[in-house]
Amino acid sequence: MSAKLARFILTENLNRLAKWIRLLGYDAVLYKSISFHNLKRIAAKDRRIILTRDRKHLIYAETDKIILIKSTEHLKQLKEIEDVLVLREELFFTRCILCNKLLYAISGAKIKHLVPEYIYKNHSNFKVCRKCGRIYWRGTHYQKMLKTVKEVFNN
């Protein structure tokens, strides 16, 4: 995986955007009830780009690594940051959309009891989040997401 991929830290009201950024394979953290002061410290320490909808943060950011998100709709928000994203399909679904942790490949046999039978029978590449236990596979949800991503970035 490239070391050049941008990393992000988002303010609390951008939770849906955070999920979509993770889905594209990017590291995106979001902390609840964090002060902007602490958010800035984490951003500086981890070299993260701050994403916020709050204009007043721009004044206090003391960094150019901040992007003011204008839209209230998460897919339009995603489009707003396209300049700092490189879309690589092999990165999609490599990260848990809830925990932001990298996913690990797991054999179908190990998760057979955890997914519906037709899923187990029709898929072979399963991934798991070791933090929350969520299991991912490239099913209809994945195809739908892929279509949405293409629609967002082709317009």
- Cβ-based neighbours of 64, under 8 Å, separated by 6 or more: none
Q: Least distance to Zn ion from the beta carbon of 48, Å?
A: 19
List for the chain the helix, strand, coil content (%; round to 5).
45, 15, 40
Of 22 and 40, CB closest to Zn ion? 22
Regarding 130 and contact with Zn ion (CB under 5 A), the answer is: no
> From residue 74 to residue 113, what is the string marking binding to Zn ion with x (rule CB under 5 A)?
----------------------x-xx--------------
Of 86 and 98, CB closest to Zn ion? 98
Of 32 and 47, CB closest to Zn ion? 32
Most distant pair of Cα atoms in the chain: their distance: 54
Of 19 and 53, CB closest to Zn ion? 19
In the 3-class helix/strand/coil scheme, how is 107-122 assigned residue by residue? CHHHHHHHCCHHHHHH
Which phi and psi angles does 137 have, rounded to 5°? -150, 165
Q: Least distance to Zn ion from the beta carbon of 46, Å?
A: 19
Number of residues that bind Zn ion (CB under 5 A): 7
d(CA 56, CA 99): 28
The correct pick among 43, 129, 137, 149 for binding Zn ion (CB under 5 A) is 129
The CA-atom distances, in angstroms, between 130 and each of 45, 54, 105, 115, 133 are 25, 33, 10, 16, 5
Q: Least distance to Zn ion from the beta carbon of 146, Å?
A: 20
d(CA 70, CA 24): 21
Sole window of 35-43, 68-76, 102-110, 129-137 interacting with Zn ion (rule: CB under 5 A): 129-137
User: Which residues sit at the interface with Zn ion, rule CB under 5 A?
Assistant: 96, 98-99, 129, 131-132, 134
